[in-house]
Structure 1
Amino acid sequence: MRSLTPILAAILLIFSSLIAPSPAIAQNVSNLFAQWLQADLWPEARARGISPATFNAAFAGVTPNLKLPDLVMPGESAPRGTGQHQAEFRAPSAYFDHIGGVVSGGRRLAAQHAATLSAIEKRYGVPRGIVLAIWGRESGFGSAKIPYNAFEVLGTKAFLATRKEMFREEVLAALEMVEKRGVGPETMRSSWAGAMGQPQFLPTSYLKYADDGDGDGRADIWNSVPDTLASIANYLASHGWVRGRDWGFEVTVPANVSCAEEGPDRGRRIAEWAAMGIARVGGKAFPAHEMQGEGYLMMPAGRLGPAFIVTPNFYRLKDYNESDLYALFVGHAGDRIMYGDISFAAGWSRVDGLSRADIAAMQRALEARGHDVGGADGLAGFKTRRSIGRWQEKAGRVATCFPDRDLARQLR
């Protein structure tokens, strides 16, 4: 980009006054993009062993897609029109509204692909229910439309997104997929974020974890079910999935155990949690082989929803998608695929309708009081939840470990 600075400066005033790029401006950006490809991206691609034929084939007819989110137009300092700072903070329960389709589809496909799943379980140690749940969640078992040209998305984002350097690595990895793995550029369809195929891998993940599950000598995550399933399992195993351990268990947490004890840095042996009065729901005992293993308290809605003791495998699911609710969705759906219609024993209470801006303001107020909330991003992760709980306890309030309107007013 440094080599294009004079060109970008020439259209600075035009861009800064626009709400959306006009056709003329879009054409100017396309011209800049073409220059960037040749003057900036191509030299690095060539240094990494990419041939001119591969580079030209990948970007043939590609122009920047200015409808993608998180783009910063030349001369501007922030993405335009995203509105994320005003986005609603959704109730955790809403995340599970469509779990039934993943469960029913997973059960059907568990029977259809039983032999493949058995081989994958034996090789990687990842339960078939988990693999199926991720497949269903990521791409509807391959039925979801994946509409974008990956080079259009990754190239646009490497040129204009807020995280240019990350996407630069991804577009170079995509070129390596073509050059060294024999993937045709026309095959490489992606999401708006550049995630590809049925497992929704970014190119760097494809290079590391995509696996040949059907034995044809290549990893086709767009069209091959065995390759898709093996790649998902390989990803989890490579990130440290512990063979033979579960992902977690729904529990009841007595009032004398603080909800602020939540988090992956607050681990105890599951036997210790049980000695504190935390019990598995439904009168079930924790499996004997789990008792000496480390577990962690996880309360995605604080005291306003179900609670769990999770194992290190829960955090391997978070490696796939950095969200407590995603990992819980996959674990719960995997259990239901394999063991029947298991519902959460505890209900989800109604939560106040706050915006992400409201949550971010609370986070900043807690930070000012010395709490580590994990960053003021408008999302109530475990650090924010337990910071809320600690503030509530110190203030002599009932600790819920979850944001609400009264708390937002108190922290102003």
Structure 2
Amino acid sequence: MTMQLFRVALVLVLTVLAGATAAQSVDRQFRTWLANDLWPEAQRRGISQATFNAAFTGVSPNLKLPDLVLPSEARPRGSVQHQAEFRAPAAYFKHVGGVVSGGRARLQRLQPALAAIEQRYGVPRGILLAIWGRESGFGGAKIPHDAFEVLGTKAFLATRKAMFREEVLAALEVVEKRGVAARAMRSSWAGAMGQPQFMPTSYLKYAVDGDGDGRADIWGSEADTLASIANYLAQHGWVKGRDWGFEVTVPDSVSCTLEGPDRGRRIADWQALGVRRVGGKAFPAHELRGEGFLMMPAGRFGPAFIVTPNFYRLKDYNESDLYALFVGHAGDRIMYGNAEFAGAWRPVSGFNRADVAALQRGLERLGHDVGGADGLAGFKTRRSIGAWQEKNGGQARCFPEIDTMRNLK
């Protein structure tokens, strides 16, 4: 072996040893934290020693998880980078067909359970199937992590320790009071559990028995999973009898700056402004009297929608316009065989999230509320872009563009 190769090998060995030593140190600190900090709090909340031991025996911190701050490090590991490519909304819907076909395949087989759940909670079965398919591939997706490994690690080391502390304590309560075995609690890397991907606090509030066996098994029971999703939406205010929304055409005379949940008006009033459902369809008569909201996830570069308050109940499940649109659209296609969106997603690219964040900061300097400079184009950012474009003599397009960025940086 040459001296150069020897030095390289020595560096590698020392790096591995240093990493192992650091991991052992973190593990010792984790054990001290469990015994002196988390256990006393768990005990005060009625958790038994047996439950606590069952949850954490053999569990060590998983240092591969994102958003951790190790004692010897200043910055989070695996945090989201603004240098990531900015993705146009069209990419989000690439796999909607799989959810649609999977939902249709289960409609008939699960008809009795779906009918009973829909009758009880008022949430359409297409919506339930779409969420189930989106969250866990109808239970087929691998749920790779031990929930206590994830939640314990994050409560000890994550950037949001307080939040995960509540979640790991809730998970202990699931074992203590709901009779779920600790090792049966499988989760995502973020701690979301089972087929509906509930955090432990959500499990305690919304998980229900849908198959009559006395347990709320969101890991193994299809009926429990569907009933729990329905209960979640109902408890958040799902309005029985109303749709989630409708794809529409928006004339140039209606500005995209009118978008947002704080700028609603009766659907009849939107219709009077010239907004029409696609394909020549009429709005249902009972919907005309209800409040609707303009939603244009790609501004003038993609399809447009009039959504109802139920759209925002879907956002309660996952705080994303595109998630709620995916679920509503997939639910319609599952139930009615509807086609893909009538409006085309036009390509918008050539920049990254850091560019969008710079654009947002430029708008903030001018007094616009963009909802935070996070590099994501939420509705506040979209309509702020449009307002700036109109003020400067252009047509509002309400979506990030290269020229707009250059002028606002």
* Residues in 1 aligned to 2:223 and 2:94: alpha-carbon distance in whole angstroms: 28
Q: Give the aligned partner of residue 3 of structure 2.
A: none
Q: Give the aligned partner of residue 186 of structure 2.
A: 189
* Residues in 2 aligned to 1:42 and 1:22: alpha-carbon distance in whole angstroms: 28
1:19, 1:80 within 8 Å by CA — same for their partners in 2?
Answer: no
Shift of 1:260: 0.5
Q: Give the aligned partner of residue 284 of structure 1.
A: 281
Q: Deviations over 1:240-295 (max 9, x none)?
A: 00000000000011101110100000010001100111111111110000001000
Aligned CA distance change for structure 1 residues 240 and 20 (closer, same or farther; 3 Å): farther
List gaps (5 residues or longer) in structure 1: 1-17
* Residues in 2 aligned to 1:306 and 1:20: alpha-carbon distance in whole angstroms: 55
* Residues in 2 aligned to 1:100 and 1:83: alpha-carbon distance in whole angstroms: 28
Q: Give the aligned partner of residue 157 of structure 2.
A: 160
* Residues in 1 aligned to 2:161 and 2:192: alpha-carbon distance in whole angstroms: 16
SS at structure 2 position matched to 1:226 = helix
* Residues in 1 aligned to 2:278 and 2:48: alpha-carbon distance in whole angstroms: 59
* Residues in 1 aligned to 2:195 and 2:120: alpha-carbon distance in whole angstroms: 21
The answer as to 2:34 corresponding to 1:53 is: no
Shift of 1:131: 0.0
2:290 to 289, 293, 312: 293
SS at structure 1 position matched to 2:108 = helix
Aligned CA distance change for structure 1 residues 392 and 122 (closer, same or farther; 3 Å): same
The aligned runs of 1:309-328 (5 Å cut-off) are 309-328=306-325
The answer as to 2:258 corresponding to 1:261 is: yes
Shift of 1:83: 5.1
* Residues in 2 aligned to 1:268 and 1:388: alpha-carbon distance in whole angstroms: 22
Q: Give the aligned partner of residue 246 of structure 1.
A: 243
The answer as to 2:203 corresponding to 1:206 is: yes
Shift of 1:20: 12
SS at structure 2 position matched to 1:362 = helix
Q: Give the aligned partner of residue 5 of structure 1.
A: none
1:169 to 149, 154, 166: 166
1:125, 1:244 within 8 Å by CA — same for their partners in 2?
Answer: yes
More off after superposition, 20-29 vs 361-370:
20-29
* Residues in 1 aligned to 2:17 and 2:234: alpha-carbon distance in whole angstroms: 44
The answer as to 2:248 corresponding to 1:274 is: no
Q: Give the aligned partner of residue 410 of structure 1.
A: 407
The answer as to 2:20 corresponding to 1:23 is: yes
Aligned CA distance change for structure 1 residues 288 and 29 (closer, same or farther; 3 Å): same
SS at structure 1 position matched to 2:82 = helix
1:51 counterpart letter in structure 2: S
* Residues in 2 aligned to 1:126 and 1:167: alpha-carbon distance in whole angstroms: 30
* Residues in 1 aligned to 2:74 and 2:316: alpha-carbon distance in whole angstroms: 30
Q: Give the aligned partner of residue 79 of structure 2.
A: 82
2:68, 2:78 within 8 Å by CA — same for their partners in 1?
Answer: no
* Residues in 1 aligned to 2:37 and 2:82: alpha-carbon distance in whole angstroms: 33
The answer as to 2:366 corresponding to 1:366 is: no
2:315, 2:324 within 8 Å by CA — same for their partners in 1?
Answer: yes
SS at structure 2 position matched to 1:249 = strand
Q: Give the aligned partner of residue 337 of structure 2.
A: 340
* Count of residues in correspondence between the two structures: 395
How many percent of aligned residue pairs carry the same amino acid? 75
2:249, 2:304 within 8 Å by CA — same for their partners in 1?
Answer: yes
Aligned CA distance change for structure 1 residues 398 and 74 (closer, same or farther; 3 Å): same
SS at structure 2 position matched to 1:250 = strand
The answer as to 2:391 corresponding to 1:394 is: yes
Shift of 1:78: 2.5
**TM-score w.r.t. structure 2 length?**
0.95
2:245, 2:308 within 8 Å by CA — same for their partners in 1?
Answer: yes
Runs of 4+ with >4 A deviation: 18-21
